[in-house]
Amino acid sequence: MVSPPDERDVWKQLATVVDPELPFLNVVEMGMVREVVPSEAGGWLVRITPTYSGCPATDVIMQDIRRVLSALTADVEVEVVHHPAWTTDWIGEEAREKMSAHGIAPPIGSHADKSFLLGKKQTVPCPLCGSTSTRLVSAFGSTACKAHYTCNDCLEPFDHFKCF
Amino acid sequence: MAAQEHIRYIARLGDDAVVLGQRLSEWCGHGPILEEDIALTNLSLDYIGQARALYTHAGALEAQGHGEDHFAYFRDEEAFENHLMVELPKGDFGFTVMRQFLFATFAYLRMEALAGQTTDPELAAIAAKSVKELRYHVEHARDWVVRLGDGTAESRERLHRSLEQLWPYTGELFTPDAVDTWAETAGMAPDLARLKARWDDVITAALTEATLGRPEDGWMQAGGKAGRHTEHLGYLLAEMQSLARKHPGVTW
Ligand SMILES: [Zn+2]
C-alpha cells in the first residue's frame, strides 16, 4: 500500500500548474488554491476557486490541476468552491512583482471601490518606465482580464491586469 | 424542490444574460475598430459565463435533471422571461453602447444587492463574481456614452436617437411582477424602487456629462417577464438554438 502524499507534495504539484494567459504565474501565486485539508478518505482535499466566470482559461486550469494531482495519488480530491468569489486581492506581492517584470501593470486598488459609477478613473503607472502619464487604449486587451494601455512617456504599449 | 418563483427568478437572471450575450456576440468581426470588436465579444463572454452559472443553479433548484443547456437551447420563446431591452437588435455601435450603459448599470446594481443577501448562498456567490465583471461593463459603456454624446454632431445625434428608442424599455426594469415580489419578500431580491433611485443617479450624471440629458418618462413597454416578447427574440433564439436542437447532446 502506498502511503498518502505529504501536504507539501500536494502544494508542490499545484505550483506546477500555470495560468495559460499568464504563464509565468502558477495557480498558488494567483490565489486560486483556497486550502488543502485532510479528506474523509484519509488523503487530501484541495479547494479551488476559479478566477472569473467568463474566463476561457478556467476549464484548462481545472483540467491541469486534476491531472497533476491524480498523478500524485488517488487520495487527492479536488473541490470547486465559488464562495467567497476569487478576487485580485488574493494575488500575492511576489506575483505582482513578476507581472511588472513581464511588462504587465498589476491590479490597483480594491474591487469594492464604487467611484467608477460616476466616471472616476484610475492612474495606472507604466510597468516599463514607471511614468504615471499613461492612457487607456482598450478596456479589454489581449485577454478579458487585462486592459490595454499606452505610456505617454516611453510610448510603449502595455497590459494592465484589472482589479476584480 | 424549491418554490416555482425561486426557480423562475434565477432562470430569468440567466435569460437576461444569455440573450444579451448572444446579441453582443453578433459584433464578432463587425466592431468599428479592432479594440471594440474584442471588447464587445469579451462582454459577451462574461454574460454567457454568468448565464451558465445561473442556469446550472436554476436546474439544481428545480431538481428535474435539467442542466444549463436545457434552459438555453430547449425552451421556446414564451418560456424566456428576459427584459425586452436586451433582445432588441444590436443596431449601430451607438445603440449598442447606450443599451450597455442603461442595462449594465441596472445589472450591476442588481447583482451587487444579490451578492449581499443570505437567502440563497449559491446565488450570492454567482452574483459576487458577476458584479466584478459588470463593473467593467459599466465603465466601458459610460466612457463611450460620454465620448460619443459629447462628440461630433453625427455621434451626438446617433446617441440621442438610441437613447430615445431605448428609454421606453427602461420602465420594465423597475416594475415588479409576482416573481419579483416573491423574491423580495423572501429576502433574496432587492426593492426595485430603491434600486431605481440609485440607477437614476448614475444614469443622470452620465447623460448630463454626455450633454444628452435624461429623457422624460412616458409610456413604457412591458411583457418580457411574462414571456410576451418583441418579434426579435424568436429570430435570435432560432439562430442560437438550431445547432443544439438539430444535434442534441453533440460534443466536439
Ligand atoms: Zn513608460
CATH number at residue B101: 1.20.1260.10
- Distance, in Å, from the CA atom of A11 to the CA atom of A95, rounded to the nearest integer, reads 16
Which pLDDT belongs to residue B152? 97
Asked if residue A109 has pLDDT above 80, the reply is: no
pLDDT value of residue A54: 62
The answer to whether residue B252 sits within a structural domain is no
For residues B228-244, b (16+ Cβ closer than 10 Å) or e, as one string?
ebbeebeebbeebbeee
Nearest residue on chain B to A137, judged by CA atoms? B35
Q: Which residues 113-142 of chain A have a CB within 8 Å of chain B?
A: 116-119, 137-141
Tell me the residue range of the domain where B187 lies.
4-246
A138: nearest CB among B38, B138, B205: B38
Of A54, A139, A164, the CB nearest to B45: A54
* pLDDT at site A156: 94
The residues in A 9-68 lying below 8 A from B, measured between CB atoms, are: 52-56
Range in A8-17, A39-48, A65-74, B169-178 the model is least confident about: A65-74
Higher-confidence position of A141 and B196: B196
Please give the tally of structural domains in chain B. Answer: 1
**Cα–Cα distance between A84 and B115 in angstroms, integer?**
10
The DSSP bridge partners found for residue B185 are: none
Backbone angles phi, psi at A97, to 5 degrees: -65, -40
Residue B203: which of B132, B146, B130, B128 has the closest Cα? B146
Of the candidate CATH numbers 3.30.300.130, 3.30.360.10, 3.90.1150.220, 3.40.50.170, the domain formed by A7-80 belongs to 3.30.300.130
Q: Is B251 a member of any domain?
A: no
Hey, what's the torsion of the CAs at B150, B151, B156, B160, to 10 degrees?
Answer: -40
Which chain B residues touch A if contact means CB-CB below 8 Å? Answer: 35-36, 38-39, 42-43, 45-50, 52-53, 105, 108, 121-122, 124-126, 128-130, 132-133, 135-136, 138-140, 142-143, 146, 202, 205-206, 209
Between the CA of A130 and the centroid of ligand 1 the distance, in Å, is 6
* pLDDT of the residue at B19: 98
Q: Which residues of A touch B143 (CB under 8 A)?
A: 119, 139
The backbone torsions φ and ψ at residue A122, rounded to the nearest 5 degrees and listed phi first, read -95, 150
pLDDT digits (tens, 9 = 90+) for A51-71: 766 667 777 888 898 888 888
Percentage with pLDDT > 70 across chain A: 94
Q: Quickly tell me which residue has 465583471 as its cell.
A: B133
Mean pLDDT of A107-114: 77
Give chain A's mean pLDDT: 86
pTM of the model: 0.88
State the greatest distance between any 2 C-alpha atoms of chain B, in Å, as a whole number. 56
Give the confidence band of A4 by pLDDT, cuts at 50, 70, 90.
low
Query: How high is the pLDDT of residue B60?
Result: 97
Tell me how close the Cα of B201 comes to any Cα of chain A, in angstroms.
9
Give A-chain residues touching B128 at CB under 8 angstroms.
Answer: 83-85
In chain B, residues with a C-beta closer than 8 Å to the C-beta of A138 are: 35-36, 38-39
* Chain B nearest-CA residue for A138: B35
Q: What is the C-alpha separation between A107 and A109, in angstroms, rounded?
A: 7
How many Å lie between the alpha carbon of B39 and the closest alpha carbon of chain A?
Answer: 5
Query: Which residues from chain B sit within 8 angstroms of residue A149, using beta carbons?
Result: none
Let me know if residue B133 belongs to a domain: yes
Q: How sure is the predictor about A22, in pLDDT bands with cuts at 50, 70 and 90? A: confident
- Cβ–Cβ < 8 Å for B175, B193: no
Domain presence at residue B109: yes
**Inter-chain contact B48–A54, Cβ cutoff 8 Å?**
yes
- Cβ-contact B59, B68 below 8 angstroms: yes
Gap from B78 CA to chain A (nearest CA, Å): 27
CB B129 to CB A53 under 8 A?
Answer: yes
Q: Give span(s): CATH 3.30.300.130, chain A.
A: 7-80
Query: Which of B46, B128, B205 has its CB closest to that of A85?
Result: B128
With respect to residue B173, please indicate whether it lies within any of the assigned structural domains.
Answer: yes
Looking at residues A86-106, what average pLDDT do you find?
91
- In chain A, residues with a C-beta closer than 8 Å to the C-beta of B137 are none
Structural domain includes residue B78: yes
In tens digits, what is the pLDDT along chain B, a chain of 252 residues?
Answer: 689 999 999 999 999 999 999 999 999 999 999 889 999 999 999 999 999 999 999 999 999 999 999 999 999 999 999 999 999 999 999 999 999 999 999 999 999 999 999 999 999 999 998 998 999 999 999 999 999 999 999 999 999 999 999 999 999 999 999 999 999 999 999 999 999 999 999 999 999 999 999 999 999 999 999 999 999 999 999 999 999 999 988 887
